[in-house]
Amino acid sequence: MLNLSRFQKNTLLTFILLAFIAYAPLYYSIRNAIKKETLPITYDSPETVSFFSLGDWEIIGKESDSKTTRILSELIDFEFQKVTRAVYLGKDNSLSDAKKRRSNFVLFGAFEWKENGIEFTPRLSSVEQKSTYSGKPFLVPYEERGKLVSVIYKSLSHLLDETIRLHRLIKHSPEWKFPSEEEFHSESEFVRLSEYDPNFTLEEKNSLFKSLEFPSEYLQFIKIKLSLEKKTEDSFKEIWRNVGGNSTLSAYTKFYVAKNIAEFYFAKKEFGKTIEYAAAARKERELLKSVFHSDYADILSLIGKSLVLDGKKEEAVYYLTSARKLYETLGLLSDPISVENSYFYGLLLYDLSQAELGSYELSSIRDKFRGIDSLYLDFNLAKVYYDLGRYEAALSLLQNQRKIIMNEGFANHDISLYSYNLYAASLYKSGKWSVAKSVWESLVTAKSIYGIEEKPYHRYALYNLAVLSKLRNNLEQTESYYKQYVRLSPYGQIVELPSTDRFEIGKTIYPHTWEPISPNSFTELEERTIRSYTGRYLFNGQDEEIRARTYENRLEDTNLFLDDLLNANAFLSKPMSTLRKTLFGDLNRFEKGNQIVFFDIGPALNHPEYPGVTSLAVAKHFSGMEVVLWELPGEVDLFLKKVKPELKDRLYAFPNIRILSADGVGEFKTVYSDPNNWILRNRPIPNLKGKTIIIRAANSIDIYEPYTKILPHFQNIGKELKHNPILYFFNRSILLKPAGKEKFILIGNQSIRGFHHNFQSLDRNGEPPYSILPFTVCEEVNL
């Protein structure tokens, strides 16, 4: 009431007296209002809080000691973590772009090694003022270098305080936690500690710290960090038992330990333990009196995410909402952890019937993801749009997603196929029912290419076709599709057919529920298919007659497939036309197989009657194609020594035949470039530049080599021939690698004809010569 005038005071006292006499509750209401209004006003806000980071040291002169500067960076970083009433973001070189942009000040300094000691000049870069300021230099004798931590800390903190004061910045000075005298290291201790390098291996760190014993919280902190690297449940229990109740350790050290243990259990999907240790980390952060900080928001977010993934979505609302609000107040909504928090928050809002708010939250972070993660976000957002009835928005999103899918080679990934099913439903709702039908049919027929039947999206496609057939009054098809759907669905997940156009498209998918995919590796469906062929037989465990087993017309389906692609007059489906364009571009250049190099790996060159007969069929059918018989050196030796001269001459009669004597899974560049590996020395090694490459491995490395050799083989071929388009016939599967890419995509298969290892048969068993998955080669879906 000190700020009120005398008239205002008298008036207020009169009202209070009248209220007290006339109506007691009014008196207490006025009194409480006065108490509330006369509380000290705090002017704390994000604008008044200093956000700062630690920059890289500068070196003056030619002399320096990288070990000293490295350990000082670690020590100062550790001490700054304890600062309150400010936000220390960390080392500038390790920050996310969002945190770098948020930093008001970057503290750093310059070292100069002089004859009598080390001189340090504190420096500060003010981001807002776009200026750099320097403080008074300090000289520390070499024998007192343990005091460098205290000197640097005090000089940098003083420089920041003075910058705020002298430039009249509306910023609070941080509450510094100056290292005590007890924290000073002796020269010998400092030198020994400077041997530490965070990039050391675990063994190197253990070896170093066994010999280090002196009173220092930082040393204890590093030893605890080292213990955490063991990453075993027993070690974590022991660590927390020793750390949690240790009064000599700072709240920051306890927070760091609890947070790391919580993150370990989160990665293991043990959410109960995650919440337990995250709650402990939250408590320590509050004891540190540093809750206006991204670390505190990270912990709230971690608890919220764990509750969501543990099925406790209502409980998670408070934590995810609080974390989001704190990130927003801190100005760190673009930070990666904040973005993930928004991802969970948006999906949670949708799950709790706040779809409109959820769509807003998810759309706000859409540009923050790349690769496979962006595909999941696009699916989730499109699903929300679909449920809101915004079908055109869902279609637009999924069309953009298709471009990423095709560009990144993820056509056979689970999320792509979930999205493909959703795409069809959105197409139907937009009035394109015939296109939707063809999309669902392609998901159903894909079971002939790979093991898709156990996947939910395959069941959904069957169900949706049943719904579509029912709406079109085709009862026979309805019954057929629905029976297949029921047969493949778990009993508790079977859904009755509706009377309206309600389709099955699955649920939204939360982050951390899918497995990451390695670059240039196969998707799960592709890997399972390739694995199903590999390592089935031991090459050295079979007689040479069996190893060389082949027969005429065994792989004729390859020729039929290539013939359709290279025949300009052939009537092709849209997927085949797209594939032709991807492989050949201008078809006129490839007449009779020109500009194509065909590698036949394991062509049975040692066969006593039909040496390389399947390769000969290709060479004969496509006279302009260079055909390379890629055979093991041992098999080539047997061919040269045992095969009849007239059979060799029949092979040599084709001028487009080459023989490469090398391991089929060997390093391509080494194998191909060695002239000693080429048997027909009078014939030039094919120049691969600008050529289309076709490879076939049928009853060779595909069945004799394990998957552990086959995957690197594909990766090596993709890398070495990155600029060439490649079509690869691997056993029955057909794979494509577009020019400029390294990743192979499974796009179809050949019939069973010729792939019986233990008997000869030219029967296709009712299968077509080849089949193509349309969604693996075409970006558009109106097939």
Query: b/e per residue, 367-401, with b = 16+ CB within 10 A?
Result: ebbeebbbbbbbbbbbbbbbeeebbebbbebbeeb
**What is the rounded distance in angstroms from the CA atom of residue 529 to the CA atom of residue 732?**
10
Contacts of 592 (CB under 8 A, 6+ apart): 622, 623, 624, 625
Per-residue pLDDT, averaged over 275-280, amounts to: 96
pLDDT at 209 over 80: no
- pLDDT band at 17, cuts 50/70/90? low
**What is the rounded distance in angstroms from the CA atom of residue 772 to the CA atom of residue 763?**
20
Check whether domain 46-191 has CATH 3.40.50, yes or no: yes
Question: How many percent of the chain have pLDDT more than 90?
Answer: 66
pLDDT at 22 over 70: no
Averaged pLDDT of the chain: 88
Cβ atoms of 679 and 584 closer than 8 Å:
no
Cβ atoms of 686 and 658 closer than 8 Å:
yes
**Helix/strand/coil for 426:** helix
* Higher-pLDDT residue of 432, 191: 432
Residues 110-160: pLDDT tens digits?
A: 999 998 999 999 999 998 888 999 999 999 998 888 889 999 999 999 999
Question: SS3 for 670-693, per residue?
Answer: HHHHCHHHECCCCCCCCCCCCCEE
pLDDT at 41 over 50: no
Residues 488-546: pLDDT tens digits?
A: 999 989 999 998 999 999 999 999 999 888 878 899 999 999 999 997 765 554 544 44
pTM: 0.86
Element (H, E) at 24: helix 24-37
Tell me which CATH code domain 369-493 carries: 1.25.40.10
DSSP 125: E
Q: How far is CA 303 from the centre of its chain?
A: 22
- What token pair was written down for 267? 């990665």
**What is the rounded distance in angstroms from the CA atom of residue 341 to the CA atom of residue 347?**
10
Burial of 434 (C-beta count, 10 Å sphere; 0-12/13-18/19+):
exposed
- pLDDT band at 757, cuts 50/70/90? low
pLDDT at 419 over 90: yes
Equal fold, 46-191 vs 535-777: yes
DSSP 612: T
Q: Looking at the domain 535-777, which fold is it?
A: Rossmann fold (3.40.50)
Per-residue pLDDT, averaged over 589-609, amounts to: 90
- pLDDT band at 279, cuts 50/70/90? very high
Question: How many percent of the chain have pLDDT more than 70?
Answer: 90
Per-residue pLDDT, averaged over 379-384, amounts to: 97
* Higher-pLDDT residue of 210, 318: 318
pLDDT at 383 over 90: yes
Span of 117-121, 357-361, 613-617, 713-717 with lowest mean pLDDT: 613-617
Per-residue pLDDT, averaged over 2-20, amounts to: 60
pLDDT at 15 over 60: no
**What is the rounded distance in angstroms from the CA atom of residue 384 to the CA atom of residue 356?**
8
Cβ atoms of 227 and 216 closer than 8 Å:
no
**Helix/strand/coil for 373:** helix
**What is the rounded distance in angstroms from the CA atom of residue 693 to the CA atom of residue 691?**
6
pLDDT at 300 over 80: yes
Residues 316-338: pLDDT tens digits?
A: 999 999 999 999 999 999 999 99
Cβ atoms of 46 and 92 closer than 8 Å:
no
Per-residue pLDDT, averaged over 218-230, amounts to: 85
| Type of residue found at 79 | E
Q: What angle do CA 13, 17, 19 make, to 5 degrees?
A: 115
- pLDDT band at 167, cuts 50/70/90? confident
* Higher-pLDDT residue of 101, 752: 101
- pLDDT band at 212, cuts 50/70/90? confident
Where do the domains of the chain lie? 6-37, 46-191, 369-493, 535-777
Per-residue pLDDT, averaged over 231-256, amounts to: 88
- pLDDT band at 37, cuts 50/70/90? very low
Per-residue pLDDT, averaged over 380-403, amounts to: 96
Residues 665-709: pLDDT tens digits?
A: 999 999 999 999 999 888 999 999 999 999 999 888 998 899 999
Q: How many CA atoms, within 13 angstroms, populate the side-chain half-sphere of residue 624?
A: 12
